[in-house]
Amino acid sequence: MNSIATSITIALSKGRIFEETLPLLAAAGIVPNENPEKSRRLIIETNRPDVRVVIVRASDVPTYVQYGAADLGIAGKDVLIEHGGTGLYQPLDLKIAQCRMCVAVPAGFDYAAAVRRGARLRVATKYIQTAREHFATKGVHVDLIKLYGSMELAPLAGLADAIVDLVSSGGTLKANNLVEVEEIMAISSRLVVNQASLKMKRTLLQPVVDRIAGAVQ
């Protein structure tokens, strides 16, 4: 279900990604007419009559773009790994919403010793694919527990021994008496493009992609 060939739909999530995307869109001559934090509208028009923004949950961005309901989207590498990337062309690292994926444990827990003696660890995370891959590569035995929010609570409440979560300043970990024991990977947000859109709407999309590329810091 591709939007008509003469217009562009961009999928964005509210908050950090929306805020950090605004300057990149501006460089491409695109300015949203409303702030999704204030308006409750889910479809936002822009200064360009042929460009609109749809506001979706961060983890839904790849799905909208995969099925062509949006031509372009901006999503974290974390989200793209979990989605799998099917049907998506990923031309640009936008270097926004930068953080890292890491393993964290309660301050008193000797993670390295547990790993050395081959203990089976319970790990709570929203990022099942990333966690599975990481621990498999390291040869650590884990039972993964899928959560949808506030991973930091899991070890404190006795649900898990460790968590895999995104960290930037480390403030939330510290406030909950958790320590980072392994960095899994650096995370930032990527531009994603529907593969069919890129072929069918290249004259419309390529200049937008190029101008965004030129504005990446």
**Smallest distance from ligand ADP to CB 75, Å:** 7
Torsion from C-alpha of 75, 12, 166, 140, nearest 10 degrees = -40
Residue list 17-46, contact with ligand ADP (CB under 6 A): 17
Residue list 109-168, contact with ligand ADP (CB under 6 A): 166, 168
Q: For 3-19, b where at least 16 C-beta lie within 10 A, e where not — what string? A: beeeebbbbbbeeebbe
16 binds ligand ADP (CB under 6 A): yes
Q: Are 83 and 166 in contact (CB under 8 A)?
A: no
119 or 185: CB nearest ligand ADP? 185
Binds ligand ADP (CB under 6 A): choice among 10, 28, 56, 58: 58
Binds ligand ADP (CB under 6 A): choice among 32, 55, 66, 78: 78
> How far does CA 49 lie from the centroid of its chain?
28
**Smallest distance from ligand ADP to CB 141, Å:** 27
Q: How many residues does the chain have?
A: 217
Please give the structure tokens belonging to residue 95.
């270097």
Residues within the interface to ligand ADP (CB under 6 A): 13, 15-17, 57-59, 76, 78-79, 97-99, 166, 168, 187, 189
